[in-house]
Amino acid sequence: MRQKLLIFGLTVLFIGAIIAIGIRSVDSQNDMVARGKYLVDAVAACGYCHTPRAGAEYNMKMYLAGHPADNPYPRYNFNMMQQNIFLLTSPLLSAFSGPFGTSFASNLTPDKETGLGEWTEKMFIDSMRTGHHQGNKENRKIFPPMPTKHYALMSDADLKAIWAYLKSIKPVKNEVSPVLNRLGRPF
């Protein structure tokens, strides 16, 4: 009888511990997502380029979804250098053109075909750290004005929190145009 009671007691303790660990890990995942949101929205201002505008406001239907496909974009020409013009942007503030070529803010939502849905955490962290497309050093450099040099200085914990938050936002289907070189051709 005493042995049965002991086994029962141990089982209850064991199940309790598993539930407690489960709740704590859900809590820490929630904390991580909340920290990621804070970093994205308040500190690193990712939406400043990655969320297109609707007039003067952000277009929240396109939250972090990048430059809308088929939306017009500016083209730099080198005569502008004499007029001291270096960077052009579209009215939605999500496409940019300069002496480097033309870039379009990427779709950071977890959409599988057009966003970061198929990216791994490693690809994301490596792209922020190395400044190379998809975090692969063999790939082209990520174009301006993406401030990779600054984000590269973030801690692993912060980049992981940003990644956790980006995975949690609403996926938006938006096929962002690839970057164009100085001649206006795909890279």
- Footprint of ligand HEC on this chain (CB under 6 A)? 40, 44-46, 48-50, 96, 103, 105-106, 108, 124, 127, 133-134, 142-143, 145-147, 151, 162, 179
CA–CA gap between residue 96 and residue 121 (Å, rounded): 27
Q: How far is the CB of 187 from ligand HEC (least distance, A)?
A: 8
**If you count DSSP H runs as helices and E runs as strands, how many of each does the chain have, helices first?**
5, 5
| 76 vs 124, beta carbon nearer ligand HEC | 124
Give whichever of 1 and 116 is closer to ligand HEC, judged by the CB atom.
Answer: 116
Nearer to ligand HEC, 11 or 181 (CB): 181
Phi, psi torsion values for 96, nearest 5 degrees = -135, 145
Q: Which amino acid is at 62?
A: M
Closest approach of Cβ 75 to ligand HEC, in Å? 15
Let me know: does 33 contact 164? Beta carbons within 8 Å: yes
Give the tokens for residue 6: 């002991």
- For residue 116, the 8-state DSSP code is S
Question: Is the CB of 13 or the CB of 48 nearer to ligand HEC?
Answer: 48
Beta carbons of 143 and 101 less than 8 angstroms apart: yes
Q: How far from 129 is each of 35, 126, 161, CA to CA, in Å?
A: 19, 5, 15
Q: Which two tokens stand for residue 84?
A: 């001291």
| Shortest separation between residue 29's beta carbon and ligand HEC, angstroms | 19
At closest approach, how far in Å is the CB of 115 from ligand HEC? 10
To ligand HEC, the closest distance from the beta carbon of 55 in angstroms equals 19
Beta carbon nearer to ligand HEC, 2 or 149 = 149
